[in-house]
Amino acid sequence: MLAGFGVGEIVAAAKKPLPKPLRALLITGGCCHDYVKQKDILKQGLERRLNIVIDHAHSPNKSTKPPLAIYGNPDYAKGYDLIIHDECSAGISDPKIIAGVLAPHRKGIPGVNLHCAMHSYRFGNFRAKVKLSDANAKWFEYIGIQSTGHGPQQPIEVAFENNVPFITKGVKDWTTQREELYNNVQIFPTAKVVARGVQGNRKAVVAWTNDYHGARVFSTSLGHNNVTVADARYLNLVARGILWATKHEEWSVAMPKNESFDLNSKPKPKSSKPGKGKVVKVPKNAATGAKTTASSEESAKGNLAKLATDGNPATRWCAAGGGKGEWLQVDLGKAQDIRHVRILWEKANAAYRYKIEGSADGKEWKLLVNQSNNSEVKQVTPHKVDAKGTRYFKVTFLGAKPAYWGSLWEFEAHAGALPELPRKAMKAAQNGSNKSNSRQLKAPDGFLITLFAEPPLVNYPVCLTAASTGELFVGIDEQARS
């Protein structure tokens, strides 16, 4: 079926030529994002929804100065109806190159801008409010909003407004998974708000339109992670933005059924085993091997609910998102008198907030542990409980500081005294806590690496290097929020 047209529409159009598909150029590459995967997700998802053909202008370079083929060629948009900017080119500061990127839009070619495009082509004191007459304001003028940074990766509550009715028609408010909320230094008069986002106590416009010298421009600052880019709600929003920008509001947006994408650029990790030989286990308990379910699972990475009770402190369950209220439920198979429970959380540097409930039938629940206001940093959390005649246990994740997801290596339930956790089991959990962040760090022979912080405390790589002469070098991403 032709993307963008229903079966009935195609039959009705049999007696007249079908509209010529839009031709769009999608520009991707640069720092800090999985453009290798996202360019394919966007092409597939948008071509399924619209009568559109998307070509790539991609650079695999991961710096803030990707050598995109469009640079130095102000006629790069020739033959295209639309340019989609999804590049992360914060280090491209040559006014001549920037003018060349803007040239097609100055001539009336519509633009759609995604996520890091908002933080590209910046120079001078771009963190201060610019005037449209300033030399470093050209890209901001095209975008319609001046943005200079973002906070940590956390879910964003997106609420739509009716300032551009075509784009928001039928669109419902939603909450993303982990995303970056881009700040708004200023919103120019030519821009119209499409949606606003709330992340904790931070608020910002996250989708909008702009009139750039007569050319229509649609932008959204959402789209950092693959899971957002592949979300049907995100793709539908971008699709409607494309139709608005190209003045094809009479066209429809198809709604693909059973849509799926491969979100991983790297092979799935194999089951974690701490070292060679025999796998270290937690003490056998009533929950070992028990049927375990959850509100959601990070299935793409193999972090399934059943791994929270497999006895292996190097495999874990993780929720599919970072929101509060995610839960893990364990069925012991029969009612038992449980005196102690213990949780090995994923992260060793977090204060987890949670509650533990028990039930005899899975319907009526009794609160056993209330850690909803916990502020103590602790990876292993043992609790003495009064859980006589209990078959079901439910752990509900209520947040963490830093803002990690609900994730744990092991849940234990003991009928007798709480046995000591083997040191090797504890070490396996600690190693697993650091593995995901340190496994890609490599140093030349003779150098050691110390990991000072990890997301969400820092969003992009920051490194310190000391020379033998006493000089200290600091490496930091140019887009890091000041």
pLDDT in tens, 369-410: 999 999 998 899 999 999 999 999 999 999 999 888 999 999
Angle between helix 35-49 and 232-245 (nearest 10): 70
At residue 443, the pLDDT reads 61
Whether cis (ω within 30° of 0) applies to the bond prior to 402 is yes
Q: What is the pLDDT of residue 448?
A: 61
The backbone torsions φ and ψ at residue 283, rounded to the nearest 5 degrees and listed phi first, read -60, 135
Calculate mean pLDDT across residues 223-230: 94
Burial of 395 (0-12, 13-18, 19+ CB in 10 A): buried
Which residues fall within 8 angstroms of residue 205, CB to CB, at 6 or more apart?
Answer: 145, 184, 187, 193, 195, 196, 197, 221
Place of tokens 């005899």: 360
The model's pLDDT over 99-136, given as tens digits with 9 standing for 90+, comes to 999 999 999 999 999 999 999 999 999 999 999 999 99
For the record, the structure tokens of 417 come out as 């005294």
Nearest residue to 162 (alpha-carbon basis) of 171, 154, 153: 171
Residue 406's contacts (CB-CB under 8 Å, 6 or more residues apart) are 318, 319, 322, 326, 327, 328, 354, 397, 400
* Mean pLDDT score, 268-291: 72
Task: State if pTM tops 0.85.
Answer: no
For residues 300 and 211, give the distance between their C-alpha atoms in angstroms, rounded to a whole number: 40
Average pLDDT, integer, range 304-312: 95
The predicted structure's pLDDT at residue 337: 96
Contact status, residue 319 vs residue 307, Cβ threshold 8 Å: no
Task: Please tell me which of 166-170, 300-304, 475-479 the model is most confident about, judged by mean pLDDT.
Answer: 166-170
| Domains of the chain by start residue, with CATH | 7-245 (3.40.50.880), 291-432 (2.60.120.260)
Classify residue 246 as left (phi > 0), alpha (psi -120 to 50) or beta: alpha
Closest CA relative to residue 405, chosen from 291, 342, 319? 319
pLDDT value at residue 124? 93
Task: Look at residues 77, 145, 134 and name the one whose alpha carbon lies nearest to residue 107.
Answer: 77
pLDDT at residue number 253:
95
On the question of pLDDT at 479 being above 70, the answer is no
Output the pLDDT for position 450.
62
Q: With beta carbons less than 8 A apart as the criterion, state whether 314 and 279 touch.
A: yes
C-alpha distance from residue 39 to each of 25, 29, 51, 111 (Å): 11, 9, 18, 16
How far apart CA 437 and CA 449 sit, in angstroms, is 12
Nearest-angstrom CA–CA distance, 86 and 261: 19
pLDDT score of 459: 52
Angstrom distances, CA of residue 436 to CA of 226, 275, 370: 18, 16, 29
Mean pLDDT score of the chain = 87
Q: For 285-296, what is the mean pLDDT?
A: 96
Structure tokens belonging to residue 84: 């989609």
The reported pLDDT for the residue numbered 471 is 74
**Highest mean pLDDT range out of 203-207, 281-285, 472-476?**
203-207
* Maximal CA-CA distance, the chain: 80
Above 80 in pLDDT, residue 290? yes
Least confident of 93-102, 255-264, 380-389, 450-459: 450-459
Neighbours of 122 (CB within 10 A): 25
Torsion on CA atoms 301, 305, 309, 310, rounded to nearest 10: -40
232 has a pLDDT exceeding 70: yes
Three-state secondary structure readout of the chain = CCCCCCHHHHHHHHHCCCCCCEEEEEEEEECCCCHHHHHHHHHHHHHHHCCEEEEEEEECCCCCCCCCCCCCCCCCCCCCCEEEEEEECCCCCCHHHHHHHHHHHHCCCCEEEEHHHHHCCCCCCCCCCCCCCCHHHHHHHHHCEECCCECCCECCEEEECCCCHHHHCCCCCEECCCECCECCCEECCCEEEEEEEEECCEEEEEEEEEEECCEEEEEECCCCCHHHHCCHHHHHHHHHHHHHHCCCCCCCCCCCCCCCCCCCCCCCCCCCCCCCCCCCCCCCCCCCCCEEEECCCEHHHCECHHHHHCCCCCCCEECCCCCCCCEEEEEEEEEEEEEEEEEEECCCCCEEEEEEEEECCCCCCEEEEEECCCCCCCCEEEEEEEEEEEEEEEEEEEEEECCCCCEEEEEEEECCCCCCCCHHHHHHHHHHHHHHHHCCCCCCCCCCCCCCCCCCCCCCCEEEEECCCCCEEEEECCCCCC
